[in-house]
């Protein structure tokens, strides 16, 4: 692990964020109010794109967990590291600030997340439906757990 990553981790730790570190991965758990600040800090340290935006619905706990998987193309030392920033949102009216201005690579991922789980990204210019038809799926969010699929048994 290079010095740059050490520095990055230390900086995040110094602000009392919940940072854990495994081989090639840095996990940062943040609260909603610190979210933008942490991402800005990461961006200043060379993180330049979002690889994946995963949102997970936990109906029993009343929360939706959002994972951002971030990476860097511009800094060679950071190539192998992926940074996972995660935060919890309330399930009833989940909303968080959009990163589309900071990382254009997230524009379509946020649009997908919006239609699939109903998370509102504040500040996104173009929050339309992407994959699903906007007529049939207004206020229906397929990746939430209450959306069920029929299953078959193994008997004929």
Partner 1 sequence: MSSKEKTITIFYGPQHPASGHMRIILEVDGDVVIKADPDIGYVHRGIEKLAEHKTYFQVIPMVERQCLPDAAHHNLAYVLALEELLGIEAPERAQYLRTLLAEINRIASHLYGMGLHGVSIGSSTAYMWCFGLREYMLILAEKLTGARITYSYIIPGGVRRDIPQGFSQDVERYLRLFERKMRDLDKLFISNPVTKARLEGVGVLPKEEAIKLGVVGPVLRASGVEYDVRRVRPYAAYPWIDFEIAVKKEGDSYARLLVRVKEIEESIKIIRQVLKDLPDGSILHERYMKLLPPRLKEYVTNTGLVKFPGVFATMKVPKGEGIGSVEAGRGELIYHLISNGESKPYRLKISTPSFRNLILFSHLIKDVKVADVPAIYLSLDYFPPEADR
Partner 2 sequence: MIDVVGHLKAIFTAVKYLFLRPITVKYPEERLKKPKNYRGVILLDMKKCIHCSLCARICPAAAIKMYKHKDGKLYPGLDYSRCIFCGFCIDICPSFALSHDKFHEVVTSNLKDMKVTPTQTLEFLRKNEERLKEIEPKIR
Write out the residues near partner 2 by the rule CB under 8 A: 152, 154-156
What residues does 82 pair with on adjacent strands?
A: 25
Closer residue to partner 1, CB minimum distance, 45 or 56: 56
Is the CB of 4 or the CB of 143 nearer to partner 1? 143
Give CB contacts under 8 A, 24+ apart, made by 142-145.
Answer: 142/116, 143/55, 143/57, 143/116, 143/117, 144/57, 144/59, 144/117, 144/118, 145/57, 145/59
Smaller CB distance to partner 1: residue 15 or 59? 59
Among 26, 42, 57, 110, binds partner 1 (CB under 8 A): 57
Site string for partner 1, 73-102 (x = CB under 8 A): xx----xx-x--------------------
Q: Give, for 85, the enclosing helix (H) or strand (E).
A: strand 82-90
Adjacent-strand bridge partners of 50: 70
Task: Note whether 49 binds partner 1 by CB under 8 A.
Answer: yes
**Torsions phi, psi of 114, nearest 5?**
-60, -45
If one asks whether residue 11 binds partner 1 (CB under 8 A), the answer comes out as: no
Strand partners, 54: 67
Site residues (vs partner 1, CB under 8 A): 24-25, 48-54, 56-57, 67, 69, 73-74, 79-80, 82, 103-109, 112, 116, 129-133, 142-143, 147, 149, 151
């Amino acid at each position: 692990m290079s010095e740059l990553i050490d520095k990055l981790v230390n900086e995040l730790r110094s602000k009392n964020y919940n940072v854990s570190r495994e081989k090639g991965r840095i996990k940062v758990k943040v609260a909603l109010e610190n979210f933008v600040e942490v991402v800005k800090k990461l961006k200043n340290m060379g993180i330049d794109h979002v690889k994946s935006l995963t949102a997970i619905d936990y109906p029993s706990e009343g929360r939706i967990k959002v994972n951002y998987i971030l990476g860097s193309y511009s800094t060679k030392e950071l190539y192998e590291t992926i940074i996972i920033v995660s935060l919890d949102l309330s399930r009833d009216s989940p909303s968080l600030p959009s990163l589309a201005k900071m990382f254009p690579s997230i524009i379509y991922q946020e649009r997908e997340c919006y239609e699939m789980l109903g998370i509102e990204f504040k500040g996104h210019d173009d929050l339309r439906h992407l994959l699903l038809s906007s007529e049939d799926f207004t206020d229906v969010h397929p990746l939430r757990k209450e959306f069920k699929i029929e299953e078959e048994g193994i008997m004929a």
